[in-house]
Structure 1
Amino acid sequence: MQRHLAAISTVTCCNFETAALQDSDSSAFYFILNSIHHKYGLFSSNPRDTEALRTFESIICLVNCQKRCNISLASRRWASSVTPQSSASDPAEAEALRCLEQGTAKLEEGDVEGAKELYKRSCEIKRTASSLFNLGVTYYHLKEYDDAISAWKESIALQPSSPDAHTRTAYIISPVSRPDLALHHLEIASSLSPEDPEIAFNHAAVLEATGRLEEALEKYKLSEQFGVARASVHIRNISAKILAKRAPTQE
């Protein structure tokens, strides 16, 4: 994957609690993100916040931000800023890409306004799913919700599917009292990439959080099978939960 999309956690976390996220497990994930929302007033009762959340729920084209958001930020996956039809010899394409890369650098430095202007310039030259999504992130961070919603909706139209996109959507909506929607996106992600160990692990985490322990156990086992070593701890813990749950009925 190319490295041209700024990690959404960098924006959402507002450069704090990164270390906490790095060390958190799947249970702590929900608490930390809820803390972030409360601290920064995200997803409040404000109607614009609500509409922004609804748009998040439909962001099928959230393009390949860092993986393992609910576990750590140590490993990241980035979206490509170049469409399959793009040409490196196209001067406009090259300029749009330059602005996109510079905008991402600004965003990683914490200069959201600077990033927004560069992303806007990139979109003016050549509109792509990545540039529109990134622009939406800056709008959202600046609480310019109408503009964020418009940018994300256009980004969705340009890139309608991605396994990681569904996973990223689930990360955002699962701590906001919508585990049903989180599971919906994770189920699609799993069907698109059934052997992706991180998707399986994250699917298991949400299933566990919603009390679907047997299904969560199967997903944890699948993630361990495909290489997620830390899944073994969750397998032991959830197996104990299942036994404890069954104990009263066996007496």
Structure 2
Amino acid sequence: MLARVSSQVVRVSVKSLARPTVFRTVKLTRNPGQSFQARSSIYKRWASSTTPHSTASDPAEVEALNCLEQGTRLLEEGDVEGAKDLYKRSAEINRNASSLYNLGVTHYHLKEFDEAIAAWQEAIALQPASPDAHTNLASAYIVSPVSRPDLALHHLQIAASLSPEDPEIAFNLAAVLEAAGKLEEALEQYKRSETYGIERAKIHIRNVSAKLLGQRVQSTQTSGQSDE
């Protein structure tokens, strides 16, 4: 269920891209064509449209907030295009991390990945400590037609450092690490995600452990053959 905009950053799970075995976008479902696996919906939070300097008597601030709230209501009703227009209007009036974050969400759902990336990059520039913005940006880099797993990994590592007990972020990070062949690090992150409540991580822990064992056996055999 979608959350309302509030003065706090609220986590919202927008179920639109459930990844089968793909890097789920935050609850990232990691998308079609990728061998990543992670959470199952583009996990997002709608942020507050207020700033430390905003006042209820500022007409521009009030209009920006109204656009943000109306946009979220439309998104809850499934009108992504309408929500995008309102979020864009909010950002034009008061360009802050909240409006840009939500605008990125609508671009993502409309598969406008370049625009989603640009919006989330700007949101992060304004509010660097948002783990959700980093996670969603990572998802966009994965599902974009020109995939950038290196950048996805970078932003997921930042997200994990900002929110070390978030099991979904740990799971997504593990999936990207596994896809990159960094199995030891992937195993560590899968274990973290299981510790914090992701049951399906157990399957991946077994799979990665088996891969690591296979690598060790192969390495031992190769070493033995070279000694003969």
Same fold at TM > 0.5:
yes
In structure 2, distance between residues paired with 1:213 and 1:27: 16
CA RMSD of aligned residues (A): 3.9
Tell me the SS of whatever aligns to 1:34: coil
Q: Please name the residue that 1:234 is paired with.
A: 204
Instruction: Work out the CA distance in 2 between the residues paired with 1:31 and 1:200.
Output: 13
- Name structure 1 gaps, 5 residues minimum: 37-68
Specify whether residues 236 and 106 from structure 1 end up closer, same or farther in structure 2 by C-alpha distance, changes over 3 A only: same
The alignment partner of 1:130 has SS state of helix
Q: CA deviation at 1:199?
A: 1.7
Contact 2:100 2:120 (C-alpha < 8 Å) held by counterparts? yes
Report the CA distance shift for 1:215/1:81 in structure 2 as closer, same or farther (over 3 A): same
**Residue aligned with 1:78, SS:** strand
The structure that has the greater radius of gyration is 2
- 1:168 aligned residue: 136
User: Which sections of structure 2, spanning at least 5 residues, go unmatched?
Assistant: 222-228
Partners of 2:103 and 2:116 within 8 A in 1: yes
How far did 1:149 drift?
7.5
The one-letter code matched in structure 1 to 2:45 is W
Q: 1:191 to 1:148 in 2, by over 3 A?
A: closer
Q: How many residues of Structure 1 are paired with residues of Structure 2 in the alignment?
A: 208
Whether 1:203 aligns to 2:177 is no
- Cα deviation for residue 191 of structure 1 reads 2.1
1:130 touches 1:155 (CA, 8 Å); kept in 2? yes
In proportion to residue count, which structure has more strand? Answer: 2
Please report how far the alpha carbon of residue 100 of structure 1 lies from its aligned counterpart in structure 2 after TM superposition.
1.0
Q: Could you tell me how far apart the structure 1 residues matched to 2:43 and 2:118 are?
A: 26
Identity %: 55
TM-score by length of 2: 0.70
Per the alignment, do residues 241 and 139 of structure 1 end up closer, same or farther by CA in structure 2, a change over 3 Å counting?
A: closer
Structure 1 residues 95 and 222: CA distance shift in structure 2, 3 A: same
User: Secondary structure of 1:160's partner?
Assistant: coil
Q: Is the helix fraction higher in 1 or 2?
A: 1
1:202 partner letter: N
CA distance in 1, matches of 2:11, 2:138: 18
1:215-240 deviations in whole A, cap 9, x for unaligned? 11111112222232221121111111
Offset at residue 35 of structure 1 (A): 5.4
Change (3 A) 1:88 1:203: same
Q: Does 1:103 align with 2:104?
A: no
Q: In the TM superposition, what is the alpha-carbon distance from 1:25 to its structure 2 partner?
A: 4.1
Letter in 1 for 2:32: N
For residue 115 of structure 1, what is the aligned residue in structure 2? Answer: 83
Separation (CA, whole Å) in 1 of partners of 2:98 and 2:24: 30
Give the equivalent residue in structure 2 for 1:194.
164
Structure 1 residues 138 and 171: CA distance shift in structure 2, 3 A: closer
Confirm whether residue 179 of structure 1 aligns to residue 146 of structure 2.
Answer: no
